[in-house]
Amino acid sequence: MRTLRRKIYMIAGYNTISMGSGRKEFNPKKERPGIEEYVKEAGQAVLKQIGGAANVDECVIGNFIAARFNRQANIEGFFPYIDEGLKFKPCIRVEGACGTGALALATGIRSILAETAEVVLVLGVEVQNTVKAIYGADILAAAGWAKERKDGHAYFFPGKFSDRAGAYYEKFGKEKTRKAMAKWYVNAIENARLCPTAQEFHNTTKDLNAQGMAEPNPRGFVDNLNVFDCSKVSDGASGIAIVSEEGLKRCGISTKDAVEVISFGQSEYDITKAPSDLTKLETTADAVKKALSMACITKDQIATVECHDCFTIAGIMAIEAIGFAAHGEGTDFVLEGNTSRTGKVPFNTTGGLVGWGHPTGATGVHQAVTILEQLTGKAGNAQIEIPKDKPFGLSVNMGGDDKTLVAIVYKKLN
């Protein structure tokens, strides 16, 4: 079995606030920070933890589509703006739709493996509240097959996952599926309320289940999802450092403040083709299988998962793709409480995409930061118990409609 040829660690995670509707500070009519300010905040926060820019060999930034949301390309050029010490450092920007953040992580991992770097600064960023939601939906449709856009729903990706939800209802029953989707929403908001940077941190709704169970309104939105089934429009950035053993020493950071990256799996599906089965996330399953195989562990050794719940139905289908439940039984797994923060395997402990937010290019990096915080005991009020016999975390970041996937396995060191 192929394993990583060098020890690789992640350290010094940081998240900005996931800004958008729901945050008390958010006002769509007032000027807000630009993309460069989010990049600077996250970048400087990581540099402060690792001893400064002099310790960095390479930089990677994940950004999906700032050229349309912000009229800004060449995003890697912001690294020297973060700190003059990054001037002339090798920098690259990567893109893979909503899976961009984890692609940035995979790029940094490969630099360490290739021995071109001992310390890689990785950022993810997206600023999306620059246009109205309906126009943003059109921009985000670029994550799918462009030739489908003309015939697609006005809310393109909600339409895609509405179709998946409808197929799941038909095959496995609408009532139970809707209850499980509502339960997923409740868990997401309750977890987000424990994380100060989460977009839903200020959510005070008393009856979350009633919101989650709200009947979809096809005339106002899509056929099979309500607005609470969807992740929100978000602005934010996340940062982390990927280092070798030498890099860990250079930065002066102990293993108690690090996690080891023991494997990653990357998979791609033909963007021009529809899923072979709307009720399955086949590419997700393939990426996770690769990651678990490389790690030489089973799903039962995983203490916590950060999965790509762009929509509540995607969370349920991810459970099945990872293997925690058989096809069609992800709903039971959720309804039994297994994914709650006190359940068998807590999912999305700071709220996931539904609760924490989904600044697309940053999401995969945010997932890694959350796993780092959980496995090092630094998650604050969001901290869960990490059993000694389950020292692993898993992140799964998805681009498009199950097209671009990266799964990463992390190990607790102390």
Indicate the residue among 217, 242, 257 that finishes a domain: 257
pTM score of the predicted model: 0.98
Looking at the structure, tell me whether residues 215 and 242 fall in a common domain.
no
- Name the residue range of residue 150's domain: 143-231+261-412
Looking at the structure, tell me whether residues 307 and 360 fall in a common domain.
yes
Residue 80 lies in a domain: yes
Task: List all residues 6 or more positions away from 298 whose beta carbon is below 8 Å from its beta carbon.
Answer: 292
305 — pLDDT class (breaks 50, 70, 90) = very high
239 — pLDDT class (breaks 50, 70, 90) = very high
Looking at the structure, tell me whether residues 211 and 97 fall in a common domain.
no
Which of 62-71, 113-122, 141-150, 227-236 has the least mean pLDDT? 141-150
Mean pLDDT of 398-404: 98
Report d(CA 296, CA 314) in Å as an integer. 26
Structure tokens at 303: 């203490």
Looking at the structure, tell me whether residues 253 and 381 fall in a common domain.
no
Looking at the structure, tell me whether residues 224 and 299 fall in a common domain.
yes
Structure tokens at 256: 């108690």
Residue 129, amino acid? N
Looking at the structure, tell me whether residues 171 and 183 fall in a common domain.
yes
Residue 362 near residue 238, CB atoms below 8 Å: yes
Residue 1 lies in a domain: no
What phi, psi does 228 have (nearest 5°)?
-80, -15
Looking at the structure, tell me whether residues 210 and 152 fall in a common domain.
yes
Looking at the structure, tell me whether residues 180 and 81 fall in a common domain.
no
Structure tokens at 297: 């562990």
Instruction: Give 178-205 pLDDT, tens digit per residue.
Output: 999 999 999 999 999 999 999 999 999 9
Looking at the structure, tell me whether residues 112 and 82 fall in a common domain.
yes
Which pLDDT value is given to residue 282? 98
Instruction: Give 135-162 pLDDT, tens digit per residue.
Output: 999 999 999 999 999 888 889 999 999 9
Looking at the structure, tell me whether residues 80 and 184 fall in a common domain.
no
95 — pLDDT class (breaks 50, 70, 90) = very high
Structure tokens at 252: 């002066």
DSSP helix, strand, coil percent of the chain (3-state; round to 5): 45, 15, 40
Looking at the structure, tell me whether residues 246 and 365 fall in a common domain.
no
Strand 392-399, strand 302-306: pairing: parallel
Report d(CA 139, CA 302) in Å as an integer. 36
Report d(CA 247, CA 245) in Å as an integer. 5
Count of domains observed in the chain: 2
Q: Quickly list H helices, 296-351.
A: 312-322, 330-335
Instruction: Residue 215: give its domain's CATH number.
Output: 3.40.47.10
Run of H or E including 113: helix 100-114
Looking at the structure, tell me whether residues 105 and 157 fall in a common domain.
no
Q: What is the DSSP string of 246-257?
A: HHHHHHT--GGG
Instruction: Give 243-288 pLDDT, tens digit per residue.
Output: 999 999 999 999 999 999 999 999 999 999 999 999 999 999 999 9
User: Alpha-carbon torsion 55, 407, 98, 228, what sign?
Assistant: negative
